[in-house]
Amino acid sequence: MLEVGKNYRITSDKGLNIILSKRRHVNAKFDIPSYDTWDVQGFFATPKDALKFMVDGEIRGTGMEDFKSIAKKQDELYDLIKSLKVS
């Protein structure tokens, strides 16, 4: 498993697919306390494809209202990817 920041992770299903998941917080309801869960975002052939999908989604999530916000999000994501520990 490869943690990608606090909100994403990349896993594999016995070598057949690369799986990108995103953390989602579930609020407390009735007697069940709040907790975090992982939602599958997609299945990919390579980790590079999974990271590209993540970056594209995060950039689209900015609303693309102005170049400054897009460039800031790009810089944040590049820094996140550079920080990944690959062994």
Q: What is the pTM of this model?
A: 0.74
Burial of 36 (0-12, 13-18, 19+ CB in 10 A): exposed
Mean residue pLDDT across the chain? 86
Question: 31, 29, 17, 22: which is closest to 3 by C-alpha?
Answer: 22
Which pLDDT score is estimated for 42? 95
pLDDT at 49 over 70: yes
